[in-house]
Amino acid sequence: MPAAAVVTLVLTGLLVAALAFYLIWVVVILQGLTDTLGKVTFGVRAIAHRTEPITPIVTDVNANLTAVADALEALVAKATAPDEPVQAS
């Protein structure tokens, strides 16, 4: 076998080995990301579960604040309304 063929085979083998190494490295990194994303998902679900009981409370507070906002708007409208002139008798 000519020397050029041997060199070509060796270089091709090195190239394939390098590509295999980098692909395995990418797989390891992606597995680490999968683990991290699993933990983040678990944490987000735990937060959602823990905050679930406050929904009725927030709805009640929002209803009360709507009534307060309406009353304040009425006060502002009354305070900024032009005064009626006082007529002398």
Range of the domain at 38: 3-79
Q: Could you tell me if residue 85 is inside a domain?
A: no
pLDDT for the residue 1? 84
Q: Could you tell me if residue 84 is inside a domain?
A: no
Q: Could you tell me if residue 10 is inside a domain?
A: yes
Q: Could you tell me if residue 67 is inside a domain?
A: yes
User: Mean pLDDT score of the chain, rounded to an integer?
Assistant: 91
pLDDT for the residue 85? 64
Is the pTM here over 0.85, yes or no?
no
Stretch 47-65: mean pLDDT: 88
Structure tokens at 75: 């006060």
Structure tokens at 56: 């009725």
d(Cα 40, Cα 47) in Å, to the nearest integer?
11
CA dihedral 27, 29, 33, 39 (to 10 degrees): 100
User: How many structural domains does the chain have?
Assistant: 1
CA 68 to chain centre: 32
Read off the pLDDT of residues 16-52 as tens digits, 9 standing for 90 and up. 999 999 999 999 999 999 999 999 999 999 999 998 8
